[in-house]
Structure 1
Amino acid sequence: MARSTKKRENIIRVASKIFYEKGFAAASIAEIAKSAEVRETLIYELFSGKEDLLFNIPIENTNVLIDNLLEHLSGVKGTENKLRKLIWHYLNFMENNRDYATLVLFELRPNRRFYQASAYGSFKRYNRIVMDILKEGVTEGVFYENLNLNLLRNLIFGALDHIIYSWLIFNRPDKLVELSDELFEILFGTTRTLRLDDTSAAMQNQAPAWSLDKRIAILRAAEAIFAEKGFDKARISDIAKALNIGEATLYEYFKNKEDILFSIPDDRTKNLLTSLADDLEQNHAAESGLRVFIRHYLAFLEANRDYTAILLFELRSSRRFYSSPPYAIVKQYNDILMGILKKGQADQTFSRDANIHLIRHMIFGSIDHTALTWLLFNKPSSLLGVADSLAWFVLNTLRR
């Protein structure tokens, strides 16, 4: 192996460790060079910058993930068996490669530029394998011909990602692979018994009107700037300039830039909870309540594109957010969903054997993945347009 290749691999290995321990934003090229025992100039000869180095880290691991998956799938017959193996393999790989899982979910998923980088090609290759299995299921008659395979893919990866988020942040569950069979039964049981159409629908919920006092005005301006520039590149002065006020005024209301970021979902969620409570007041039954919840959340995300971008690209990847006071407000939305699911089990509308914690991951995860492709690629054209299909997926699982 050429000496330069060995040095390149060593730099990637060291950078992976430092990014995992400190996070991408806090790490520096100087620190990586020192730990790798190379000159900084060598890193810039091999990579165009810190972000290029980050994007190159997952290539080897993702290719190993793919090659290992193909080896496991070799000789496996039938869509059901292949999906079961795929889910187990993904969870097992992430559990044994915690640093890789952390980089993928906290650094790469939220980085919009990653989706245009050549390194994203390995992720698309993995996606094609999954879609080929799902299409094979249609050909075999396992899935109905008009099943929305893109939504099903989002259900699978959304559920997996949210389970792994919980494992990384809260150490729940203890072992990822312990959930593989149950998650498979939830996902596969849904799709093999249900015919779905991806119906379109016009937006019915508009963004609520807020009292634009100075604090709210700051949050609205920050929301637009963070969505456009990204949190790291945005400056306090950008927000002040947009409002034609002095920077000192912002510090009268917020401690720093991160405090502003974390306060955005606090404010948004309070309004969301109020309007959702009004809608649920008219839908007491668990099944209709779940439909309202899904439609309401998708309508809210679609009507508030900047907030959706901040949620997926900034907050999901901020580990400090999950221990901040505003997260307690956001968690109330999760509690409402769990209340609907528990109510359905109590009155036997939903099966009492259903693992509602896994189903919660499936709901929020699939919405996240669907919203992500909507933001990046305008697919689907309307988030609310997939609400009925997603509700049918979930309800079919809960009724079994």
Structure 2
Amino acid sequence: MAKRTGEKYQAIIDAAVRVIAEYGYHHAQVSKIAREAKVADGTIYLYFENKDDVLISLFNEKMGNFIRDVKTTLANIASPAEQLKELIRLHFEYLEKDHQLAIVTQIELRQSNPEVRQQIGIILKKYLDVIDSVVQKGIEEGIFRPDIDIRTARRMIFGTIDETVTSWIMKDCKYSLMEQAEAIHQLFLRGIAR
């Protein structure tokens, strides 16, 4: 298997986003992804074992980039309350910029088989750990209530962000996702602030 780097690898990942967003995961044949990436069908198998591997790799690549951006940004913000605000903003900005990626992550990933969902869960855990660290820091600094269960707060935060994006997609992205960020941030602060 070829290294998972380079122009062809990236072209396949980007093509997979477009094809899966347009046709749905179950109808996104490897041949369609190859055609969209402008590579031979066999080239896909130099980088990926199968279509499931393409989907997992796509999520790992895109989520990995997002998590790096979030960590870099949050490292420069001292206040956990402001970190939370920026995390929400970045999440919305990242998906609002790429409607096709939003469709894949919000709709199509959830229709995959259990093995794929398990791998997606492992990748997603890295993002959930970032949310946990923001909540933990807020508790330690006395900004967030000390009686908050971090896992419950994480589910509340991620679940609200996730549902907001899914609703936006279901409404054909007809309004600004970014305009939702401040209201959601205020909702969280009222629920977890001291």
Flag whether TM exceeds 0.5 (same fold): yes
Opposite residue 321 of structure 1, the aligned amino acid is V
Task: State the 4+ residue runs in structure 1 displaced beyond 4 angstroms.
Answer: none
The answer for unaligned runs of 5 or more in structure 2 is none
**CA RMSD after TM alignment:** 1.7
* Secondary structure, counterpart of 2:176 in structure 1: coil
Report the Cα distance in structure 2 between the residues aligned to 1:221 and 1:305, rounded to whole angstroms.
Answer: 14
TM-score (norm 2): 0.90
Alignment of 1:320 onto 2:118: no
Aligned to 2:160: 366
- Give the one of 56, 67, 74 matched to 1:280: 74
The Cα of 1:238 is off from its aligned counterpart by: 0.6
The Cα of 1:375 is off from its aligned counterpart by: 1.2
- Give the one of 93, 116, 129 matched to 1:299: 93
The Cα of 1:380 is off from its aligned counterpart by: 6.1
Opposite residue 392 of structure 1, the aligned amino acid is Q
The Cα of 1:373 is off from its aligned counterpart by: 2.0
The superposition leaves residues 120-171 of structure 1 with CA deviations (integer Å, 9 ceiling, x where unpaired) of xxxxxxxxxxxxxxxxxxxxxxxxxxxxxxxxxxxxxxxxxxxxxxxxxxxx
Report the Cα distance in structure 2 between the residues aligned to 1:316 and 1:284, rounded to whole angstroms.
Answer: 35
Alignment of 1:254 onto 2:43: no
Alignment of 1:95-110 (within 5 A): none
Q: Rate the CA distance shift 1:380–1:386 in 2: closer, same or farther, 3 A.
A: farther
Report the Cα distance in structure 1 between the residues aligned to 2:38 and 2:83, rounded to whole angstroms.
Answer: 44
Report the Cα distance in structure 2 between the residues aligned to 1:353 and 1:327, rounded to whole angstroms.
Answer: 27
- Give the one of 237, 240, 246 matched to 2:34: 240
Report the Cα distance in structure 2 between the residues aligned to 1:308 and 1:223, rounded to whole angstroms.
Answer: 9
Alignment of 1:88-237 (within 5 A): 213-237=7-31
* Secondary structure, counterpart of 2:144 in structure 1: coil
TM-score (norm 1): 0.45
The Cα of 1:212 is off from its aligned counterpart by: 6.1
Q: How many residues align?
A: 189
Structure number, greater radius of gyration: 1
Contact 2:31 2:41 survives alignment (8 Å): yes
Report the Cα distance in structure 2 between the residues aligned to 1:380 and 1:393, rounded to whole angstroms.
Answer: 23
The superposition leaves residues 343-387 of structure 1 with CA deviations (integer Å, 9 ceiling, x where unpaired) of 111111100112232221122222222212211214660111110
The Cα of 1:273 is off from its aligned counterpart by: 1.6
Aligned to 2:62: 268
The answer for unaligned runs of 5 or more in structure 1 is 1-210
Alignment of 1:25-40 (within 5 A): none
The Cα of 1:311 is off from its aligned counterpart by: 1.2
The superposition leaves residues 240-259 of structure 1 with CA deviations (integer Å, 9 ceiling, x where unpaired) of 11223211110000000111
Q: Rate the CA distance shift 1:253–1:379 in 2: closer, same or farther, 3 A.
A: closer
Contact 1:370 1:380 survives alignment (8 Å): no
Aligned to 2:193: 399
Contact 1:225 1:239 survives alignment (8 Å): yes
Report the Cα distance in structure 2 between the residues aligned to 1:380 and 1:390, rounded to whole angstroms.
Answer: 19
